[in-house]
Chains A and B, each alone.
Chain A
Amino acid sequence: MPNTPVLRLCGITKYFGPLAANDDISLTLNAGEMLALLGENGAGKTTLMSILFGHYVADSGTVEVQGEALPPGSPRAALTAGVGMVHQHFTLAGNMTVLENIMLGTEPLWGFRRNSARARAKLGALMERFQLRVDPFAMVRGLSVGERQRVEILKVLYRDARILILDEPTAVLTPQESDHLFATLRELVNQGVSVIFITHKLREVMAASDRCVVLRHGRVVLETSTKATSAEELAKAMVGASIPQATRTPHPHGEEVLFLDRVNASAPDRGASLNELTLSVRAHEILGIAGVSGNGQALLADLLSGLVAPAGGNIVLRGQTVNHLTPAAMIRAGVGRVPDDRTGTGLVADMTVMENLSTEIYRLPGFSKRGMLNFKALASRAAQLMDVFDIRCAGPDAPVRKLSGGNMQKLILGRVLSQGPHLILANQPTWGLDVGATAAVHQHLLDAARRGAGVILISEDLDELFQLSDRIQVMYQGRLSAPQDTSVDRARLGLMMSGQTFDHRGAA
């Protein structure tokens, strides 16, 4: 491997107020190398890449590309120097073709006509060379997520980037698409492009990278060749201590707490409609729902939260058919709901921790009387939950908006689990959480199942599903597969997630 540095960051320091987002970070990227940048949320990964790309100006430190210093605060300079970035959220125009999207921004602003023929030839050569195939005349809105990502990468390569930075590139991909992505990146690296990818998934780092750098609290805590390290060592470096992994102890399942019998539902803006959904959850059981986002999981979550009424079929909760679905009715029926959108749906961000802990129970006797809130009871309950669920905040009167994602989730779990639910719906419960908070959430869900709740865990993270679930069902375009044992092969599940070999348990 040629060991010439193409990119060198020296002593990058960036403060936001009193907080050091980046504290004297130095790292180098060699030509033809795949570097993984690893760290928890808030470790400073994104800040570092934003400084490299000129979105932020560092308080001190320099960025050198091919031995030349980049002027700070100029994204254009970074582009010209051959640094390209693929963001987590794609920046493509859906109503344009692939070719038009790639040409966007590369043509002179006051040009008389577009030179499509030359662009097409250049794009064709790139696709040939890097084995990245997309139909240049397809509308972007018709492309799959994996294809869109390929367009984003082509867009960067089209601008002659020699250094490619990808921010959490696999967050929206199926396992197969992820494998495909890393094969593509390997091909790029073989041809001399250098790649940095930001992630917190250890499996990807171990499988794909040549070298990895771990950030914690804005500092580099570990820099090592991937061959010389292990997933355990990386996890420990990320968190600063070894986190006990939540482990599942199988438990005999009890009676059925939820039975969905051929349920149909649809709602605007909620992705795929639910089509003849049948599932069953028993006490002590965790049922995982796998699938690429947008395949109906949001609607299933809304249905079980009481926000959407089914258009057909039956919902049976602990032997009772539920006809009138409202959020309040579901809470009364003992359904604990953990939504995916914590700040928007789960919590009233501008209200206090105590108020948010109270939103589902304040009308119960004991917490209010003759229309008056019993602040004493609410406050002592809040103090107790903050203690038991380890909700770290300035106090019960702190606005929830100021809490970290992990503490917000612990608040929601505290509110839900304190009511002793029979069924728990957890939709993406660890999305965007760091390792420590993720472990806490997992442990709470496992404990709840051990105490006798049935849990539906909707997640896009297969590792999480395999770690927690007793059985897994795959959701694809609003339909559910037959339940799979957790001994099922990961690749087989991946194929089902992309719609191939999908044997759904339908009406028949």
Chain B
Amino acid sequence: MRLEPRESVALGWQVGAPLLAVIIAMALCSGLILWAGASPLSAWGLLLKGALGSTFALTETLTRATPLIFTGLAVAVAFRAKLWNIGGEGQFYVGACMATWLGTGLITLPAWLMIPFLFLTGALAGGLFLLIPTWLKTQLKADEVVTTLLLNFVVLLVVNWLVFGPWKDPMAMGWPQAAPVIDQAMLPILVPKSSLHLGFILALACALLMWWMMRFTIWGFEIRAVGASLKASTFAGMPVRATIIRTALLSGGLAAMAGVSELCGVKGYLTLDLSPGFGYSGIVVAMLAALHPLGVVLSAIFIAVIYIGADSMSRAINISNYIADVTTAVCLLMVLLAMFLTRYRIRWK
């Protein structure tokens, strides 16, 4: 068996192949649903209805997609520069911690100032936090896959200490959680009687901004060039180190904004389960989107549909909602395979 790069790929296939991959993944998962004793068609129908079938369902889905857009963008920007940031989960909590520290009474500003202030300081903290592994990478050639991944656990342990220790809310009846952020820090709700908050608009704005930056600016050009060939961009005299540092600040900042958005938009206070793995899911989101910033929005919503829909489906026909995890995993594998096959063809000898 041998791989040969394809000479050219029609645009139709470049878009069509991932879609086909998703359909194949759904077909494969239908087997599992069948095995669990339900009709796949009605199961998928219930899933879609549960995720998109009512205003409430739709707002729930978009609320879930919000942090995924942020963490997906964080990964998309970093991976484009071949900075393998697996530490989105840690940066998420760094952002949430920063917002808790500043937003629970330390600083009080009117809402229109408080919210941007918390997002900016949170993003700055997350960005600076990613500079640690980035510095280790550029100075000592330490593999950032390992360092960013391990720092996630460091951050989680620190959060653990904070919510059990110094930040523990005395009003929380003994639960390990920090005090709630002040009212001025809470994100306004977009649709009455739903949980969809301003963070979603911010996430969309960030996606647009990242797309614009990658496409039209010097920074984007440098990030793409450094990622495509470190050697050639060094030779061409590009500011390679500055580009990597800039990328780290952006990526860490975006992941931290997910933390601020969840804290101030959904929960209101810091706990250890603020994120059910949004940082890691960001990798899936970015890969499904082929690292395209606008694609990240679509793939984040797609993943959110599956998770929210699976919850209501499992309630309705009694199938474990683990089917959501399986579906996203199979989708990712199939889409990666599809993208691979659009670039290479396999020849059997």
Residue ranges of A at the interface with B (Cβ–Cβ < 8 Å): 17, 305-307, 326-331, 337, 339, 344-351, 355, 358-360, 362-363, 368, 371-373, 375, 402
Interface residues of B in 208-223 (CB under 8 A from A): 216-219, 221
Contact A402 B229 (CB under 8 A): no
Chain B residues with Cβ below 8 Å from A328 are 237-239
Contact B7 A359 (CB under 8 A): no
Chain A residues with Cβ below 8 Å from B233 are 348, 359
Chain B residues with Cβ below 8 Å from A330 are 237
Chain B residues with Cβ below 8 Å from A349 are 228-229, 232
- Most A CB within 10 A of own CB, among B216, B225, B232: B232
From residue A403, how far is it (CB to closest CB) to chain B in Å? 13
Contact B218 A345 (CB under 8 A): no
User: Can you name 10 A-B residue pairings with CB atoms under 8 Å?
Assistant: A307-B234, A328-B239, A344-B231, A347-B229, A348-B228, A348-B233, A351-B228, A355-B221, A359-B233, A360-B237
**CB closest residue in chain B, given A327:** B237
Known pairs A326-B237, A327-B237, A360-B237; A348 contacts B217 (CB<8 A): no
Known pairs A330-B237, A373-B217; A351 contacts B224 (CB<8 A): yes
Known pairs A363-B218, A368-B218; A345 contacts B235 (CB<8 A): yes
From residue A79, how far is it (CB to closest CB) to chain B in Å? 19
Contact A347 B217 (CB under 8 A): no
From residue A341, how far is it (CB to closest CB) to chain B in Å? 8
**CB closest residue in chain B, given A331:** B237
Q: CA of A344 to CA of B225 in the docked complex: distance in angstroms?
A: 12
Known pairs A17-B7, A351-B225; A359 contacts B216 (CB<8 A): no
Q: CA of A373 to CA of B228 in the docked complex: distance in angstroms?
A: 19
Task: Tell me whether B11 is interfacial, beta carbon within 8 Å.
Answer: no
Contact A373 B218 (CB under 8 A): yes
- Most B CB within 10 A of own CB, among A349, A358, A373: A373
From residue A72, how far is it (CB to closest CB) to chain B in Å? 13
Chain A residues with Cβ below 8 Å from B238 are 328, 359
Chain A residues with Cβ below 8 Å from B235 are 305, 307, 327, 337, 339, 345-346
Contact B229 A344 (CB under 8 A): yes
Known pairs A17-B7, A351-B224, A355-B221; A344 contacts B232 (CB<8 A): yes
From residue B281, how far is it (CB to closest CB) to chain A in Å? 27
Chain B residues with Cβ below 8 Å from A347 are 229, 232
Q: CA of A17 to CA of B237 in the docked complex: distance in angstroms?
A: 39
Task: Tell me whether B236 is interfacial, beta carbon within 8 Å.
Answer: yes
Contact B219 A350 (CB under 8 A): no
**CB closest residue in chain B, given A375:** B216
Q: CA of A402 to CA of B221 in the docked complex: distance in angstroms?
A: 20
From residue A58, how far is it (CB to closest CB) to chain B in Å? 15
Contact A359 B219 (CB under 8 A): no
Contact B237 A350 (CB under 8 A): no
Contact A372 B218 (CB under 8 A): yes
From residue B343, how far is it (CB to closest CB) to chain A in Å? 11
Q: CA of A339 to CA of B237 in the docked complex: distance in angstroms?
A: 13
From residue A117, how far is it (CB to closest CB) to chain B in Å? 39
Q: CA of A329 to CA of B234 in the docked complex: distance in angstroms?
A: 12
**CB closest residue in chain B, given A401:** B5
**CB closest residue in chain A, given B4:** A16
Known pairs A348-B229, A368-B218; A402 contacts B237 (CB<8 A): no
Q: CA of A375 to CA of B233 in the docked complex: distance in angstroms?
A: 19
Chain A residues with Cβ below 8 Å from B8 are 402
Contact for B232 among A345, A358, A363, A375, CB less than 8 A: A345
Q: CA of A402 to CA of B236 in the docked complex: distance in angstroms?
A: 20
Q: CA of A349 to CA of B228 in the docked complex: distance in angstroms?
A: 8
Q: CA of A432 to CA of B216 in the docked complex: distance in angstroms?
A: 36
